[in-house]
Amino acid sequence: MTREDIIKAGYELVAQEGFHKFTARNIAKLMGTSTAPIYAEFHSMDALKETIFQRIENYLGEVIFNEVRTGDSIVDMGLNYIYFAMGENKLYKALYLEDYGGGERMHNFSYRMYTKRVSEDNKYQSLSKGQVDALHYGTWIIVTGLASLMSSHIIMPTEEQLISIIKDSYEALSKRDKSIFD
């Protein structure tokens, strides 16, 4: 078993079962081996978990959150988050909803991705940090609600409806008294 085999198995376990099943024994079982190779490569399960979080963040940053769908970075980030929740439901829940996952870490990662994308979009470059923060929190609440409801098959709006909801939330937030942004 190589280090990469262990990382892949750990990632697969999290994606299929969530972090509540993230143990050396479960990873070893998935690989068909003992726990010895895991501890030979990683000094602790926390070290392996950190490596897997880095792999997940790379995947989300390079593949999921980077996809251009409409050309509007706020709308695209929202749609990408929703489609990730629907397409990789167990991984989404493990990362963003489970107590065992990295809730705060993933929120911070998503915030960094959001602010990076918004700062690169000419439409939003004139916004202050306070405005970007307010837009992030407002749209985060909206898209998290949509992602949760859609990944549970409670609601199924069309993409056009999703775009409208995200844009409406952005417009409502941007029209508010500017003092809430700074």
d(CA 27, CA 33): 9
Q: Domains in the chain, start-ordered, CATH in brackets?
A: 1-55 (1.10.10.60), 65-176 (no CATH)
- Tens-level pLDDT at each residue, the chain (182 residues): 899 999 999 999 999 998 889 999 999 999 999 999 999 999 999 999 999 999 999 999 999 999 999 999 999 999 999 999 999 999 998 888 876 667 788 888 989 999 999 889 998 888 888 888 888 888 989 999 999 999 989 999 999 999 999 999 888 877 765 544 44
pLDDT of residue 175: 72
> 3-class SS at 163?
helix
d(CA 2, CA 53): 18
d(CA 82, CA 77): 9
pLDDT of residue 101: 64
CA distances from 110 to 76, 113, 163, 167, 178 (A): 13, 5, 19, 19, 24
d(CA 78, CA 140): 8
d(CA 145, CA 154): 11
The residue type found at 163 is I
- Which residues lie below 8 Å from residue 94, measured CB to CB, with a gap of 6+? 14, 15, 17, 18, 19, 100, 101
By CB neighbour count within 10 A (0-12 exposed, 13-18 middle, 19+ buried), where does 97 fall?
A: middle
pLDDT of residue 160: 97
pLDDT of residue 181: 46
pLDDT of residue 171: 85
What are the φ/ψ torsions at residue 100 (nearest 5 degrees)?
Answer: -75, -20
- Which residues lie below 8 Å from residue 101, measured CB to CB, with a gap of 6+? 18, 19, 93, 94, 95
CA distances from 163 to 38, 143, 147, 158, 160 (A): 44, 10, 13, 9, 5
